[in-house]
Homo-oligomer: A and B are copies of this chain.
Amino acid sequence: MTPFETCVERLTRGERHRVWSLIVTVFGDLAQGTDDQISMQAMTRITDPIGVKPEALRVALHRLRKDGWIDSRRHGRSSLFHLTDFGREQSVAAASRIYRAGPPTGSEWSLVMATPSSASSQRELEDIAMTRESVALSANSILAEGGSTNNGGHLFWSRPDWPSVPDWVKAATIGADIIKQYAALLATFREISGALPAGLDPFETATLRTLIVHSWRRILLRHPDVPDTLLPHDCKLPDCRSQFSDLLDRIPREHTEKIKAA
């Protein structure tokens, strides 16, 4: 097994990555620009080492086109794929969180309480929970990003005293299953970090970047974007984040430039 194969094996071990989701990662990481296109052949070379069959790749690309995420045009006997405006918008939104070097900044969080005796108060709470990063604390209270905007409304807003936030609040923000997944991801990232070879070709670089970004974002995007002060003490998110940045720095995006179609 080559060092590259070892890294791929380690990043796919025990995981069933859905093909359409991998393709979303490829576009998000390598071809987010308005003029970026990826050919069928390049997509095949990137996903083949992950064990993606050509038929599965075609089905997934078809599905993403139907969903309006990507589009394609004929180019000789091949096809060139690119993000639609819609797909690019989604990718850009997620990228700001995926590639950010630290916890969210400039976003103070609030404790927001409704009263069970007022239906409009409960409705207002649901609105906040739907439209902001938030965490349910009880039937009538949530933690939500940002401050009060509804003076005269029925919600009770307050600012957490950060140094004294107790464990049960932190446990509400990130569940035990996600904590376990971050611990496993950190172990994987550390193994990869020791095994990562020099001199990868552009496609190998693209394959490994895709797997690294994919492993990270599939956990990261499953929970609200809370400040580190709200993380359970045994949550390895911050360590994973710094390993993630280190790994990507060692196999930079620029090395993959030539895989894009002209």
Copies of this chain per assembly: 2
A168 to B154, CA, bound (A): 7
Taking A153-B166, A166-B155, A168-B154 as contacts, is the C-beta distance between A110 and B161 under 8 angstroms? yes
The verdict on A137 contacting chain B, using a C-beta distance below 8 Å, is yes
Taking each of A111, A141, A150, A152, which has the highest tally of chain B beta carbons within 10 Å of its own beta carbon?
A111
Chain B residues positioned under 8 Å from A141 (CB to CB): 113, 141
The verdict on A44 contacting chain B, using a C-beta distance below 8 Å, is no
- Interface hit among A48-56, A59-67, A114-122, A245-253: A114-122
Flag if A153 contacts B158 (CB, 8 Å).
Answer: no
A163 to B158, CA, bound (A): 11
The verdict on A164 contacting chain B, using a C-beta distance below 8 Å, is yes
Taking A158-B158, A161-B147 as contacts, is the C-beta distance between A168 and B110 under 8 angstroms? no
A35 to B230, CA, bound (A): 58
Q: Which A22-47 residues have C-beta < 8 A from chain B?
A: none
Flag if B121 contacts A166 (CB, 8 Å).
Answer: yes
A115 to B160, CA, bound (A): 15
Shortest A100–chain B CB gap in Å is: 26
- Contact with A118, one of B138, B165, B168 (Cβ below 8 angstroms): B168
The number of residues on chain A lying at the interface, defined by a beta carbon within 8 Å of a beta carbon of chain B, is 33
The verdict on A223 contacting chain B, using a C-beta distance below 8 Å, is no
A168 to B115, CA, bound (A): 7
Shortest A156–chain B CB gap in Å is: 5
The verdict on A151 contacting chain B, using a C-beta distance below 8 Å, is yes
The verdict on A169 contacting chain B, using a C-beta distance below 8 Å, is yes
- Contact with A121, one of B151, B156, B158, B168 (Cβ below 8 angstroms): B168
Taking A111-B158, A156-B111, A169-B156 as contacts, is the C-beta distance between A164 and B150 under 8 angstroms? yes
A217 to B111, CA, bound (A): 35
- Contact with A156, one of B148, B151, B166 (Cβ below 8 angstroms): B166
The 4 closest A-B pairs by CB, nearest first: A158-B158, A157-B161, A148-B164, A115-B168
Instruction: Return 21 A-B CB contacts under 8 Å, by A number.
Output: A111-B111, A111-B158, A113-B137, A113-B138, A115-B138, A115-B168, A115-B169, A117-B168, A121-B166, A137-B156, A147-B161, A151-B164, A154-B167, A154-B168, A156-B160, A157-B160, A157-B164, A158-B160, A158-B161, A159-B159, A159-B161
